[in-house]
Amino acid sequence: MELLKTVFEVNLSLFSSNRQKCLLLFVIRDFTGVTPLSNLSNSLTTDLNKVWESLNKPDGCEELGLTDFFDLKFESIAHKHFQPEKFEIDIKALGDKFYDDTALLNTKYHRGIPVDAWTLYSQQIWEQIELNKDLDLPTQQILVARFRCDEISEQAYIAFEKEFRDIDFSTIQEPEKIAEIFQKLRTKTLQDYDEQASRYMNSVYLERKSTLQEKVDLLLKEVHSKQLDKLNKKALTEFTEHITKAKKARTKLSFPELLQESSKIAENNFIKSATIFHIAEAFNYNHALSKLQFAIVETSEQLKKKEKANLVARITKRFQNTFKEQIFDSLSSPMPDTWDIILNDFEVKKVAMFAPFKRDDGTYNFKLGLSEKENQDTAFQLEKTFWLKFRDIIHDFISEDTVSRILRNKFEDLFKYDEEGTPKIWKSAADVDVQYNKAKVETFALLPLFATAALKSTGEEIVPSIDISHEDELDGYDEFEDDEYANPHIFAHLLTNKEQNNIFKKLKRETDVIYVDAKRPVVTSTTQIPLYIYVIIAVLGWNEFMAILRNPLLFVLSIITVTGVYFAYNAEMLGPMLSIGFAMLDQTKKVAKEKLKDILLDDDVRVPPSRASTQATLVAESIELDDLRKLSNSTTIAVEE
């Protein structure tokens, strides 16, 4: 159709003035007769009219049709190989029509140009065509070359695409095999094109070859890009795994050096694998390599953040473990300057934690490949975490029960022991009172120490050097609440007034109990019966006393007892008699216990188990408590004596 369009344009440009008709003969080859020739003629005529309507017609020819300039005639020829006899007949019939003046070579189509003038006439027409820039017509050779090269290219691409689609690349794991298939398909397709299209004009042949090559490469790149993505993911995985293994092996490389080494290994492995697919310049891996490098940078930043978080966590944990023990020891044995000691220990430990990362100029380098700003931010974060741990430790440790226990122990140490830790022996009740008042004053004076973390040296509260007051406050708290409850994490405020009052009352009760228990043995051991009581007893009971002494029965019993002891002593039987007596006494006790046990067991049968066990426990505890008190009293009296 492009050729016909060219014919139409040239004819209109040259012969539109005289409107002499030309005959266009269409010979349809390989005609089978399935579709009638008339139908094919009508289809071609319709297509030609569409081409004619699309032309840029000269002035005065806008309304003229195709038949005003051309006559159309259609002939058919059978297939040479499948219908050889019919083909010979059709060829002969067509040849005969060229000898018939009324058929094809009709005189109405004759231009009236003598044969000897035909050369000049043709030359003038060709010059006119070449000089007419509006026509911009390619030569017949170029048109034919374009048409045939396009046709050959399309056939080669269809064959390539079919073979390509038949291959399931997802089942092929070896990159070398995939690259080999790429090379084979690409080479075969281009060779098929070269064999047929290289005979045509070289410029058109090369142009269409380049187009075919781009189409082939575009389809191959679908698989190529997927393979590069796989290699990309594999290299990124190798990058992270190499870092993990190196850290487990405790490599001597710093973290930035480890990142650089792992990145280099991952990129080299990627390039080595991606080079296999580099069968042509179009299959380069530059873009995929850039994506890998970008992914490695992103992953490195994530690993740096993770490593920084781990470093902060390790330092914080080490700081907390050592500092927490120091705080517990200091607060368990409180002194007026306890908070001065704790704050000084905090500063010392903070400096020790920062020492490995601090430079001479005062800046920090945590050896993670961070920027200066990130290093300073990390140092700030660490210091803030130290203060938060400081706050959490003292706020968690100091409570009503803990403070009550600490102050009670402090009171007992002051009250029951001297400065060398030796238990005190009370000589009089006055000594107990003096020591009690002294210990009580010193102990209760320590209560404000637990209420507020304030320094003795300055009297000021401990204030963090970094603002942590809003670190973990609850969102949306009631703005009308009391400040004490609205912001419970004020650093130095440890106990509320209510908690202090509760501790004071509880501690007072406990110290009073200790005081009473300590004073009771002293009072018991020092209490005496007045002498005048003995005089009164002697005066009032004199008659009864004399009546007992004058009783004959007492006299007889005394003589019998003295006589028996005398004879037993002389007969050396006093010892055996005492042994027999003690044995009889022990046996009597055992029998009594057995009888009591039987009675109690009989009671347990009638009483529910829980009640029986409770009663037995209460009895046992009562007996043990009485024994303990008797033992304590006897010990105190013995010590006093």
Are residues 4 and 51 in contact, defined by beta-carbon separation less than 8 angstroms?
yes
CA angle 291, 167, 178 (to 5 degrees): 45
Residue 615: which pLDDT band, with cuts at 50, 70 and 90?
A: very low
Q: Could you tell me which of 118, 109, 130 has the C-alpha nearest to residue 18?
A: 109
Across 51-60, 131-140, 289-298, 516-525, least confident range: 131-140
Report whether pLDDT(585) > 60.
yes
Report whether pLDDT(372) > 70.
yes
At residue 480, the pLDDT reads: 41
| DSSP annotation of 475 | T
Q: Could you tell me which of 36, 126, 37, 33 has the C-alpha nearest to residue 87?
A: 33
Report whether pLDDT(530) > 80.
no
Report whether pLDDT(433) > 80.
yes
Q: Which helix (H) or strand (E) holds 52?
A: helix 37-53
Cα distance between residue 135 and residue 129, in whole Å = 7
Are residues 363 and 376 in contact, defined by beta-carbon separation less than 8 angstroms?
yes
Report whether pLDDT(17) > 80.
no
Are residues 57 and 64 in contact, defined by beta-carbon separation less than 8 angstroms?
yes
Domain ranges of the chain: 2-137, 139-284, 308-526, 535-640
Cα distance between residue 157 and residue 209, in whole Å = 11
At residue 458, the pLDDT reads: 84
Residue 524: which pLDDT band, with cuts at 50, 70 and 90?
A: low
Type of residue found at 62: E
At residue 153, the pLDDT reads: 92
Residue 483: which pLDDT band, with cuts at 50, 70 and 90?
A: very low
Report whether pLDDT(290) > 60.
yes
Number of Cβ within a 10 Å radius of residue 154? 14
At residue 358, the pLDDT reads: 82
Q: At 319, list the tokens.
A: 């700081």
At residue 138, the pLDDT reads: 58
| pLDDT tens figures, 180-211 | 888 898 899 999 999 988 888 888 889 999 99
Type of residue found at 89: I
Question: Angle at which helices 37-53 and 2-15 pack, to 10 degrees?
Answer: 60
Are residues 512 and 433 in contact, defined by beta-carbon separation less than 8 angstroms?
no
Helices (H) and strands (E) counted in the chain, each on its own, are 21, 2
At residue 616, the pLDDT reads: 41
At residue 126, the pLDDT reads: 78
Burial class of residue 36 in the structure, from the number of CB atoms within 10 Å of its CB (0-12 exposed, 13-18 middle, 19+ buried): exposed
At residue 154, the pLDDT reads: 92
Are residues 447 and 500 in contact, defined by beta-carbon separation less than 8 angstroms?
yes
Average pLDDT, the chain: 80
Alpha carbon 69 to chain centroid distance? 81
> C-alpha distances in angstroms, 263 versus 4, 137, 243, 374?
64, 59, 10, 22
Task: Give CA torsion, residues 414, 418, 422, 428, to 10 deg.
Answer: -90
Cα distance between residue 561 and residue 278, in whole Å = 131
CA angle 260, 261, 263 (to 5 degrees): 65
Q: What percent of the chain has pLDDT over 70?
A: 87
Report whether pLDDT(427) > 50.
yes
Report whether pLDDT(312) > 60.
yes
Q: Could you tell me which of 503, 388, 505, 386 has the C-alpha nearest to residue 451?
A: 503
Cα distance between residue 472 and residue 490, in whole Å = 11
Cα distance between residue 294 and residue 286, in whole Å = 12
Residue 528: which pLDDT band, with cuts at 50, 70 and 90?
A: low
Q: At 213, list the tokens.
A: 């090559």
Burial class of residue 292 in the structure, from the number of CB atoms within 10 Å of its CB (0-12 exposed, 13-18 middle, 19+ buried): buried
CA angle 290, 293, 294 (to 5 degrees): 85
At residue 525, the pLDDT reads: 54
Using DSSP's 3-state secondary structure scheme, residue 24 falls into strand
Q: Kindly state the average pLDDT of the residues 317-345.
A: 88
At residue 570, the pLDDT reads: 87
| pLDDT tens figures, 157-183 | 999 999 888 888 888 878 888 888 888
β-bridge mates for residue 630, sequence order: none
Q: At 400, list the tokens.
A: 């009503």
Using DSSP's 3-state secondary structure scheme, residue 417 falls into strand
Residue 430: which pLDDT band, with cuts at 50, 70 and 90?
A: confident
Q: At 550, list the tokens.
A: 């004058």
Q: Choose the most confident range, by mean pLDDT, from 85-94, 117-126, 362-371.
A: 85-94
Type of residue found at 230: K
Any idea which residue has 């209109």 for tokens? 12
Q: At 384, list the tokens.
A: 């803030």
Residue 617: which pLDDT band, with cuts at 50, 70 and 90?
A: very low
Are residues 93 and 36 in contact, defined by beta-carbon separation less than 8 angstroms?
no
Please measure the distance between the N-terminal and C-terminal CA atoms of the chain and give it in whole angstroms: 141
Alpha carbon 181 to chain centroid distance? 42
CA angle 427, 430, 433 (to 5 degrees): 115
β-bridge mates for residue 343, sequence order: none
Q: Kindly state the average pLDDT of the residues 335-351.
A: 89
Q: Could you tell me which of 187, 184, 193, 188 has the C-alpha nearest to residue 155?
A: 193
Are residues 71 and 21 in contact, defined by beta-carbon separation less than 8 angstroms?
yes
Residues 6+ apart with CB under 8 A from 240: 262, 299, 303
| pLDDT tens figures, 101-114 | 666 777 777 777 78
Cα distance between residue 325 and residue 585, in whole Å = 59
| pLDDT tens figures, 235-277 | 899 888 888 888 888 877 878 888 888 889 888 988 888 888 8
Residues 6+ apart with CB under 8 A from 22: 11, 69, 70, 71, 109
Cα distance between residue 175 and residue 181, in whole Å = 10
